[in-house]
């Protein structure tokens, strides 16, 4: 009986707590004076002061475009799953973050977004002026723009990162490395002399293979372009480059340069934390090495080896960060005007990034910022928005953290210019006609490729088997369909 009473009391108490807790759950979203309230979903961690910051932003937007903004942050890891749900449930939504990994092509095909070609001309002129046409091409689906790319560093440059301490200790001439095979003697040295160290990191989900001159295509893990031949789409694994790579990996694997469980590993976190590996795959950006090397132990100092493949700019890259307008938006015009502001209005863009000046950050000069006294990370300020920097609008309007090179945006712009622009930029494969074959092929891929990619199995024996199974699963049909679509796209361009 006693326990019963205690339970009841507990329950009653909790009810009170929870009801008071729920009281402030209702949030003021509609504005009183009839101005349109833009609801903006984005893939970013919710912060405590989110509402406060966006109320301040709304004051600015009221002046400029007579609209208010409510941001609904969803943490990036959950975004892909949740946004589909929200769209399907007709949740009120005007602007939303979109990218390749969040299912841009699938959602565009399912008519989740508004095509914005005309809206850009009428309400987003500045965006059109700021972003080159070929970048817009990358964001197109079936000839229409369903998402506005963020103005930022677009290309990616695959590089090999290596440990400078080891390179100096053994006097490696890294500049002489022109291909992966040139690394073999160096890896051997590490293997022989440093028992605690792993010569090179590789994984079944393909890191080192990315250093080969191929461009991937959304919708298939197997098909791709060769960087030097954009006339047709090929099976990446049925090429001389791939064969050579498999042989090299087999050699490295047997010599113990690659960890034994590489084929099934999904991350290398422990290695990154200990820092005891000589080389690994990475992607470069201007000044990135400096940022990686900031405050790390001496044995972790890292350098990038450029030149194995050029910086590349393809459909994949453009679709990394974009923003779409929902097909069900009640006021797409205002939404586009707000988006336009994020590309042109330095004040608003920085409020989105950093919060309220004096409270969440301290302005330093015209272009820099620092955190308030005693704060070292953006997550400690109450408003953690630095991720917005590259997720919406014009990145180059953002204030730069004190300590980071002030000309970083200039360097990023140069980087944009330096990239090899893919001839297939803007080509999006529609998998629907061959979806059954694609499903089967993806299974063949995950059955054979991870172990081939790290050299865990003998390519002479397993590769022919894998290729044969791809044939059975319909690789020829898929490549034919892809090439037909590609030729048709090229003819229309």
Using the rule CB under 8 A, is 290 a contact of other proteins?
no
Neighbours of 308 (CB within 10 A): 18
Using the rule CB under 8 A, is 292 a contact of other proteins?
yes
Q: Which of residues 355-384 bind other proteins (CB under 8 A)?
A: none
**Among 31, 184, 188, 218, interactor with other proteins by CB under 8 A:** 218
Q: With respect to other proteins, which residue has the nearer C-beta, 341 or 473?
A: 473
Range in contact with other proteins (rule: CB under 8 A) among 102-110, 127-135, 181-189, 355-363: 102-110
Neighbours of 234 (CB within 10 A): 19
Range in contact with other proteins (rule: CB under 8 A) among 172-180, 184-192, 447-455, 478-486: 447-455
Q: Which of residues 253-272 bind other proteins (CB under 8 A)?
A: 260-261, 263-264, 266-267, 269-272
Is the four-CA dihedral 235, 241, 242, 244 of positive or negative sign?
positive
Smallest gap from residue 133 Cβ to other proteins (A): 22
Q: Which of residues 335-354 bind other proteins (CB under 8 A)?
A: none
Smallest gap from residue 283 Cβ to other proteins (A): 4
Using the rule CB under 8 A, is 403 a contact of other proteins?
no
Q: With respect to other proteins, which residue has the nearer C-beta, 355 or 474?
A: 474
Q: With respect to other proteins, which residue has the nearer C-beta, 213 or 474?
A: 474
Q: With respect to other proteins, which residue has the nearer C-beta, 345 or 422?
A: 422
Range in contact with other proteins (rule: CB under 8 A) among 58-66, 121-129, 277-285, 396-404: 277-285
Q: Which of residues 144-173 bind other proteins (CB under 8 A)?
A: 153, 156
**Among 31, 35, 45, 367, interactor with other proteins by CB under 8 A:** 45
Q: With respect to other proteins, which residue has the nearer C-beta, 92 or 346?
A: 92
Neighbours of 427 (CB within 10 A): 24
């Amino acid at each position: 009986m006693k326990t019963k009473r205690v339970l009841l009391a507990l329950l009653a108490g909790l009810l009170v707590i929870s009801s008071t807790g729920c009281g402030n759950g209702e949030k003021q979203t509609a504005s009183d004076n009839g101005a349109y309230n833009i609801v903006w979903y984005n893939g970013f961690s919710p912060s405590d002061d989110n509402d406060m910051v966006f109320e301040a932003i709304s004051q600015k937007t009221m002046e400029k475009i007579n609209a208010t903004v409510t941001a609904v942050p969803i943490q990036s890891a959950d975004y892909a799953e949740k946004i589909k749900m929200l769209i399907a449930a007709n949740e009120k939504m005007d602007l939303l973050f979109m990218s390749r990994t969040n299912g841009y092509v699938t959602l565009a095909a399912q008519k989740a977004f508004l095509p914005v070609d005309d809206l850009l001309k009428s309400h987003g002129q500045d965006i059109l002026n700021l972003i080159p046409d070929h970048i817009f091409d990358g964001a197109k689906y079936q000839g229409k723009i369903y998402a506005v790319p963020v103005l930022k560093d677009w290309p990616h440059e695959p590089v090999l990162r290596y440990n400078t301490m080891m390179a100096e200790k053994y006097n490696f001439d890294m500049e002489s490395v022109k291909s992966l095979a040139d690394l073999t003697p160096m890896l051997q040295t590490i293997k022989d002399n440093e028992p605690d160290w792993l010569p090179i990191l590789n994984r079944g989900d393909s890191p080192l293979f990315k250093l080969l001159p191929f461009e991937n295509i959304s919708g298939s893990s197997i098909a791709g372009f060769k960087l030097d031949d954009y006339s047709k789409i090929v099976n990446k694994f049925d090429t001389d480059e791939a064969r050579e790579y498999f042989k090299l990996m087999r050699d490295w694997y047997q010599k113990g340069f690659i960890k034994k469980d590489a084929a099934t590993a999904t991350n290398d976190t422990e290695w990154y934390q200990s820092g005891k590996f000589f080389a690994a795959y990475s992607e470069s950006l201007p000044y990135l090495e400096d940022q990686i090397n900031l405050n790390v132990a001496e044995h972790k100092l890292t350098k990038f080896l450029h030149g194995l493949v050029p910086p590349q700019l393809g459909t994949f890259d453009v679709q990394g960060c974009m923003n779409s307008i929902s097909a069900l938006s009640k006021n797409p015009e205002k939404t586009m005007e707000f988006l336009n502001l994020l590309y042109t209005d330095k004040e608003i863009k920085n409020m989105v990034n950093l919060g309220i000046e004096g409270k969440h950050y301290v302005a330093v000069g015209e272009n820099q910022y620092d955190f308030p006294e005693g704060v070292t990370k953006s997550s400690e300020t109450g408003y953690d928005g630095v991720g917005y920097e590259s997720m919406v609008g014009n990145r180059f309007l953002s204030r730069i953290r004190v300590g980071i090179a002030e000309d970083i945006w200039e360097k990023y712009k140069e980087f944009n210019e330096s990239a090899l622009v893919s001839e297939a930029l803007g080509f999006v494969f529609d998998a629907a006609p061959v979806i059954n074959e694609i499903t089967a092929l993806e299974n063949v891929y995950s059955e054979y490729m991870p172990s081939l990619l790290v050299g865990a199995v003998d390519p002479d024996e397993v590769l022919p088997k894998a290729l044969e199974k791809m044939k059975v699963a319909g690789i020829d049909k898929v490549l034919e369909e892809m090439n037909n679509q590609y030729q048709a796209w090229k003819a229309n361009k």
